[in-house]
């Protein structure tokens, strides 16, 4: 199961740290704002958690997938 990286657009100020720390999932558009390209896989989950904590404007969060029944 994969997590999803979400951007809080009003808080994002295009610092670009997320793309530097997590290029497997995030790149930047022409203005420096993040583009999330896909889910956060188990292989990069710990790095994604560190990236969320490193965001200077707290504009990132990880959401967990719904539980399977």
Domain assignment present for residue 69? The answer is: no
From start to end of 1-69, where are the E strands? Answer: 4-7, 26-28, 34-36, 60-63
CATH classification at residue 33: 3.30.70.20
Domain assignment present for residue 68? The answer is: no
Predicted confidence (pLDDT) per residue in 26-62, tens digit: 999 999 999 999 999 999 999 999 999 999 999 999 9
Q: Are 22 and 45 in contact (CB under 8 A)?
A: no
**Count of structural domains within the chain:** 1
Domain assignment present for residue 25? The answer is: yes
Query: What pLDDT was estimated at residue 68?
Result: 75
Query: What pLDDT was estimated at residue 2?
Result: 87
How far is 62 from 49, CA to CA, in rounded Å? 7
Domain assignment present for residue 59? The answer is: yes
Query: What pLDDT was estimated at residue 63?
Result: 96
Q: Which domain holds residue 43?
A: 4-63
């Amino acid at each position: 199961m994969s997590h999803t990286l979400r951007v809080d657009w009003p808080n994002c100020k295009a610092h670009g740290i997320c793309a530097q720390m997590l290029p497997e999932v995030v790149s930047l558009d022409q203005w420096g704002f993040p583009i999330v390209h896909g889910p956060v896989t188990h292989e990069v989950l710990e790095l994604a958690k560190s990236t969320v904590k490193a965001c200077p404007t707290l504009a990132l969060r990880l959401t967990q997938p719904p539980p399977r029944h």
